[in-house]
Amino acid sequence: MKGIILAGGLGSRLRPITHVLNKNLLPIYNKPAIFYSIELFRDAGIKDLCIIAEYKYIEDFKSLLGTGADFEVSLHYENDSVLKKGPASALYHAKGFVGSDSATVVFADGIYDVNIREEVASFTNGAQVFLKEVDNPTRFGVYQLDEVGDVISIEEKPKNPKSNLVFTGLDIYDNKVFDIIRNMPPALDGEYYTTDIDKIYLKKGKLKASVLNGFWRDMGTFDGLFEASEYWYKKNKNYTD
């Protein structure tokens, strides 16, 4: 199993602090946000990782993280020169790195306190998406599950969501994902999304879903940045109300 960290994005919702700094290098309490993605993979037993970011930021990541030895992982880097646009397009840059393996993929602006070791160890083929129940699902990709936990619909930022379960930016894919990306059409806005990859796996009957019990926040907004930092501050300080 390989690990892919998608560390792109303009961070437009975090301006002006992201004018010169990639949002995934911003601090979440006492360490840069991207540390949490690396630690998520390491704790799941995934040690061979690739960070994908825009060319203007890639050297910042290399300077901070190096080979990954401090985390007891091996880090590789890929420039996200625009082939298409969007996170699915960025993921395609890892095709050579993944080879014949499967890959766990995470958006680096997701801050987690969960352990996915069991799901990683038991994965065989298809795709597995990790979801979380939230109060404001209209901001996210919304996944509807049936009574036995199977995905029955996926909608991107719906006005009238069918559930409160949203995509957290974490998936496991077999290596067929790269054929899917190469052949998939863009969304209406011209971008290529991982939720659209999931829709294709769903149509094939190859998509499973897991609902996360632990902490997750999207730190791509000022509220999310604050809430993620507050959570880790309280955890590190053994804070109780």
CATH number at residue 201: 3.90.550.10
Q: How do residues 51-79 score in pLDDT, each as one tens digit?
A: 999 888 899 999 999 999 999 999 999 98
Q: Evaluate whether residue 101 is within a structural domain.
A: yes
pLDDT for the residue numbered 217: 96
CB burial of 152-179 (b: ≥16 within 10 Å; e: otherwise) equals eebbeebeebebbbbbbbbbbbbebbbe
Q: Evaluate whether residue 154 is within a structural domain.
A: no
128 has a pLDDT exceeding 70:
yes
Q: Which range marks the domain in which residue 179 is found?
A: 2-131+165-236
pLDDT confidence band for 18 (50 / 70 / 90) = confident
Number of domains in the chain: 1
Tokens of 80: 């996200």
CB 165 within 8 A of CB 132: yes
Instruction: State pTM to two decimals.
Output: 0.94
Q: Evaluate whether residue 151 is within a structural domain.
A: no
Cα–Cα distance between 169 and 55 in angstroms, integer?
A: 22
pLDDT for the residue numbered 84: 56
Q: Evaluate whether residue 124 is within a structural domain.
A: yes
Q: Evaluate whether residue 137 is within a structural domain.
A: no
Q: Evaluate whether residue 142 is within a structural domain.
A: no
Q: Evaluate whether residue 53 is within a structural domain.
A: yes
Q: Evaluate whether residue 73 is within a structural domain.
A: yes
